[in-house]
Structure 1
């Protein structure tokens, strides 16, 4: 049972997002009070290692004073201005220039929003706009993947492959959103099938869908380099190498959703660099400001930007934007975040500590509850299995992932259960010593869950 340190007003008025609201009403919520480095404390004084970096995002931890100072300085100088009607501000211009300097080859222009959902929603709008302007009005359908996650707007929730985000919301909306299989090798591979063979089967499925729907009707393919909401799931070997030629052959845009992977999470600046992806559009958020301010960006290629310019000649303006998109305080924090990444060589740090992180989780492969462990950089998923020899999963009603998540919390560790997959994305600043403590707490959580299920815990 969770400690009930919830105020009555919170129960009455505060709707918690992505939460079992029935369970919440009965058991309450945990309110976090403060954070320092990779640790947070709740309002009852309990300390936790935050192995999810909040929601995949607090890359520089919970106490980076330089970011607080950057926000304060900008609040005093220009606390708000918009980017409508050919107006703007210096922090936005500087951040856009920095982003394009870091971006994969071919991306030339940036539009700012407030969240990853909005960045992907803007990408969808631009894709439809682009195809209208270049004389391809039928080329509008967009392919996502089962268990893919791209946001919570009507369009992005329709594109995402998350059933709980669509049930009873009348989603997906319309007929423009298609799905191919989740490339989850451990769960979906056929007996004896290698990762490369599995990737080839996934590529064949994509091509078959394109042929069925007609390439003249398909505008884009969205993919996260590493699936976040799908369970911190790395792609099988060769997957993107086989996917990209199919998209190029059929003139289908590739949108790399780097909302989680961007800015060092995979051990490179972009997951696209880790997996050899050459995107036409790249979306990013989360670690862009280390989560200290809400900000996202949609990076586009020159041909798409030229279509936006042509559309303005036709329609009188580029009719898109948000009141708080490219907020000067958020952009100032984004600039300082990128400065810190460079000055402290955060990419180098991730590469240095990643072996300890991955090896520390790999040691649990022998645990009775664990079937598989996969990761890259500082993102990984631990798969829970009822019978790992037969690859028999637990039933959803057993809620084993939730049980492990809860036992980890009792052990002082915040992780995330995505079904029966336990996700880890600690702040990028985590040290090897902190990784060791994180893994020790995870072990205690696994053992406590195993014991509660009626089994005997492992020997210490």
Structure 2
């Protein structure tokens, strides 16, 4: 191997394979190296400050550089850096966090199982659905329905439920047990003169048609984000979840609420499930649970979901699943402290208070000549841009312009997405959107 320059940028290109990039392009242009974070900002190795408008990856609720989380991680690492939950073992932090999650869950839940990521958690839920169907003597009830533009992860099962072509192409996905129904994109899919209520009824009718075509007895579960995040921030129209849930109940199909992005305050309530009146059998949470300071996710399940699984494990003699890091003591301790910070500083209330300001800025920018429409709720939103040249590339151009103006957002096709840390202030909301406006002007 030829001599590699000593810079972190050069070594990154030489040795690291990155997610969600054109790998050959990365070998040419490399990466922006983020060196440190403070509050709602991150800084590169040249000292340039960026407003982290996506909270990392939709996740850093309490902002960067929170010393309380660092202190808890240090203390737990010194006391018990690692232990597992296999073979009838446990430890304090995992028990305390599980109890806390059951207590704050918006609907009655019975048990919590920890993983290290949302992808792992959703993958596990699929396994549990299959296991449960077998336990109930319904071995044919194994299909799972997701939605186009939905995102549930990148493992084989969760990536199959995900409804994005970029996560399927050349991976031989989706699995043949997975099906997809429509994304509830009212802005572009509504028929002339169709109300949100009528549109939602049509979406539910399309779901029912799919269920009947497949056979209700073959379908185990429906996975849905309360607000579709990584696919481009699609907010469900009026009565959507009520209509969808009625169909699922009619055919005895489980509802899995993927709260990985919406959980812990993003929509102005603790959970998106509350915001939209959902009654899920299972909830999957991650990201803002620990503000991504540690890799952790959790599956919350109702007693109705859990009981057949427990009975089956008793029949077999063991529940044959587990991850080395499930309920990791440092991760669970950090998550518990992170939730305490969200409560003490009323960051959910801060989201509710600032949401009109955040959404008002989105609305104002939607009148910019480069913007086609806007979407948002709470403090998560997207600007859909008019294509300029090849469709699906306007968001990338906008993200590059925003980076020049000191704002990090997320490009999804022709959309530019924002989801700032929940500690954001009114002044910082104004400053962030002023910079986004300047970025739009760069594109004009």
TM-score under structure 2 normalisation? 0.97
Q: Deviations over 1:132-165 (max 9, x none)?
A: 1011111110000001000010111111101011
Show the 5 A alignment for 1:19-168: 19-168=21-170
The secondary structure found in structure 2 opposite 1:422 is: strand
Report if aligned partners of 1:396, 1:419 keep a CA contact under 8 Å in 2.
Answer: no
Alpha-carbon distance, 1:192 to partner: 2.1
Once residues 158 and 398 of structure 1 are traced to their aligned partners in structure 2, the CA distance between those partners, rounded to angstroms, is 22
SS in 2 for 1:436: helix
Q: Does structure 1 conserve the Cα–Cα contact (< 8 Å) formed by 2:392 and 2:413?
A: no
Contact 2:59 2:291 in 1 (8 A): yes
For each residue in 1:251-289, what CA deviation from the matched residue of structure 2 results, as whole angstroms up to 9, or x when unmatched?
000000000000000000000000000000000000010
CA RMSD of aligned residues (A): 1.2
Alignment partner, residue 439 of structure 2: 445
1:396 Cα offset (Å): 4.1
TM-superposed CA distance for 1:26, in Å, is 2.0
Aligned length: 438
For residue 375 of structure 2, give the secondary structure of its aligned residue in structure 1.
Answer: strand
How do 1:333-372 residues align onto structure 2 when only pairs under 5 Å count?
333-372=334-373
**CA–CA separation in structure 2 for the residues paired with 1:398 and 1:144:** 22
Structure 2 stretches lacking a partner, 5+ long: 1-6
Where do residues 234-383 of structure 1 align in structure 2 (5 Å cutoff)? 234-383=235-384
Matched, 1:425 2:433: no
Question: Of 380, 403, 408, which residue of structure 1 is paired with 2:402?
Answer: 408
Q: Is the 8 A contact 1:226 1:261 kept in 2?
A: yes
Gaps of 5+ in 1: 387-393, 451-460
Contact kept in structure 2, 1:371 and 1:385, CA below 8 Å: yes
Taking a change above 3 Å as real, the CA distance of residues 321 and 57 of structure 1, as seen in their structure-2 partners, is same
Q: Residues of 1 paired with 2:304 and 2:419: CA distance? A: 35
Any conservation in 1 of the 2:38–2:65 contact (CA below 8 Å)?
yes
- Mapped contact 1:295–1:331 kept (Cα < 8 A): yes
Matched, 1:14 2:8: no
Separation in 2, partners of 1:216, 1:263:
35
CA distance in 2, matches of 1:11, 1:400: 26
Q: Would you say 1:197 and 2:198 are equivalent positions? A: yes
Does the 8 Å CA contact 1:232/1:424 hold for their aligned counterparts?
no
Contact 2:50 2:406 in 1 (8 A): yes
- Specify whether residues 315 and 396 from structure 1 end up closer, same or farther in structure 2 by C-alpha distance, changes over 3 A only: farther
User: Deviation string for 1:16-64 (max 9, x for gaps)?
Assistant: 1011223222222101001100000011111100000000011100011
